[in-house]
C-alpha cells in the first residue's frame, strides 16, 4: 500500500525512517531500477532483520542506526522519505520533520503513515493520560501545519486500510522547488 502510494521511481533515493524489520525497504528497493534505500532504525534487532531481508540487494540498501531527529543522510540527498507506523513514536515529531526537510532535495516527496487509532485504543489512552489532547500522528492537523511552515505543499491525507483491514492515515507531501 505505501510503496504504491509513494510512487517509487527509477533512480529514487529513499530514506525509510523507523524501518522495522525491513519489509518496506525490500519492496522499495525492488520497485524500480536504480533505487537506493537508506533504512534507519534505532533498534538493533530491526536493523539486523532489515539487513538479512535485503542481503541480495548489495549496495542498493544501506542499514543505519538513527532516528528521525538525526538522520544519517547528507543534506538534499533523498528524493523520497517514508515512515510507516513509526511517526507517532518519534521523540520530537516537529524536529524530525525539520530533519526530513534537510535530507530531501527540492521536489522530494514525503509519505507518513500511521494506524488510525480509535479512542479506546491503548495508544490513544496512553497519550491522554500523559496530558495530550490527542496523539500526534500522520492524520493530525498540526502535522500538516508544521509541514506547510517547512515549505511542503501538495499535501494529501487519506484513510486507507492495509491488507489486514487495519485503518491508517496516509499523508503525502512534496517539498517545494
Cβ count near 51 (within 10 Å): 16
Average pLDDT, the chain: 90
pLDDT at 70 over 80: yes
Position 86 scores a pLDDT of: 92
> What digits encode the pLDDT tens for the residues 139-155?
889 999 999 999 999 99
Q: What is the pTM of this model?
A: 0.89
**What does the alpha-carbon distance between residue 134 and residue 110 come to, in Å, rounded to a whole number?**
23
- CATH 3.40.50.150 holds for 2-175: yes
Cβ pair 124, 135 in contact under 8 A: yes
DSSP state letters, 107-171? EEEEEEEEE---TTSHHHHHHHHTT-SS---TT-HHHHHHHHHTTEEEEEEEEEE-TT--EEEEE
Which of 64, 24, 146, 41 has its CA nearest to residue 97? 146
Position 130 scores a pLDDT of: 63
Non-local (6+) Cβ contacts of 58 within 8 A are none
- The cell numbers describing 176, all together, are 517545494
Looking at residue 61, the DSSP 8-state letter turns out to be E
- Percent share of the chain, pLDDT over 70: 89
What average pLDDT does this structure show over 121-134? 59
> What digits encode the pLDDT tens for the residues 33-52?
999 999 999 999 999 999 99
Amino acid at each position: 500500500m505505501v510503496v504504491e502510494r509513494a510512487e517509487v521511481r527509477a533512480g529514487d533515493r529513499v530514506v525509510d525512517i523507523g524501518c522495522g524489520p525491513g519489509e518496506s525497504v525490500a519492496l522499495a528497493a525492488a520497485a524500480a531500477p536504480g533505487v537506493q534505500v537508506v533504512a534507519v532504525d534505532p533498534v538493533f534487532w530491526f536493523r539486523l532483520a532489515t539487513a538479512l531481508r535485503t542481503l541480495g540487494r548489495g549496495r542498493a540498501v544501506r542499514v543505519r542506526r538513527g532516528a528521525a531527529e538525526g538522520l544519517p543522510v547528507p543534506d538534499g540527498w533523498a528524493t523520497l522519505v517514508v515512515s510507516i507506523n513509526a511517526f507517532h513514536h518519534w521523540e520530537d515529531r516537529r524536529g524530525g520533520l525539520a530533519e526530513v526537510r534537510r535530507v530531501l532535495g527540492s521536489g522530494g516527496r514525503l509519505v507518513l503513515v500511521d494506524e488510525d487509532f480509535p479512542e479506546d485504543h491503548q495508544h490513544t489512552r496512553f497519550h491522554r493520560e500523559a496530558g495530550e489532547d490527542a496523539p500526534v500522528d500522520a492524520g493530525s492537523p498540526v502535522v500538516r501545519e508544521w509541514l506547510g511552515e517547512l515549505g511542503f505543499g501538495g499535501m494529501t491525507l487519506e484513510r486507507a486500510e492495509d491488507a489486514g483491514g487495519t485503518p491508517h492515515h496516509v499523508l503525502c507531501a512534496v517539498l517545494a522547488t
